[in-house]
Amino acid sequence: MLRIALQYWNGDREQALTLARRMADIEDKPRTDVDIEFVLRFDAKEPSKETLEYVGQKFKVSVYRCTRRGEGHPAGCDDVFHDYLGKCWERSLRDPKFVQTVDGVWFFEGDNVPLRKDWLDVMVAEWKEARQAGKLILGCWHPEGSPVGHINGNLIAVPDLFGRIKGLEGCPSQVAWDLYHAQKFEPHWFKSKNLANLYRQTNVPKKWLFDRAGKPKFANCHGVKDSSVYDMAKGLF
Question: How many folded domains does the chain comprise?
Answer: 1
Domain range for 141: 2-194
- 166, part of any domain: yes
The per-residue pLDDT of the chain, averaged, comes to 97
- 73, part of any domain: yes
- 214, part of any domain: no
- At residue 28, what are phi and psi to the nearest 5 degrees? -85, -20
- What are the residues whose beta carbons fall under 8 Å from the beta carbon of 138, sequence distance 6 or more? 104, 126, 127, 130, 155, 156, 157, 189, 190, 192
The reported pTM is 0.97
- 201, part of any domain: no
The burial of 215, by beta-carbon neighbours within 10 Å (0-12 exposed, 13-18 middle, 19 or more buried), is given as: exposed
- At residue 109, what are phi and psi to the nearest 5 degrees? -135, 165
- 232, part of any domain: no
- 60, part of any domain: yes
Instruction: Flag whether pLDDT at 237 surpasses 80.
Output: no
Instruction: Flag whether pLDDT at 33 surpasses 90.
Output: yes
- 225, part of any domain: no
| pLDDT tens-digit readout, 112-162 | 999 999 999 999 999 999 999 999 999 999 999 999 999 999 999 999 999
- 139, part of any domain: yes
CATH number for 35: 3.90.550
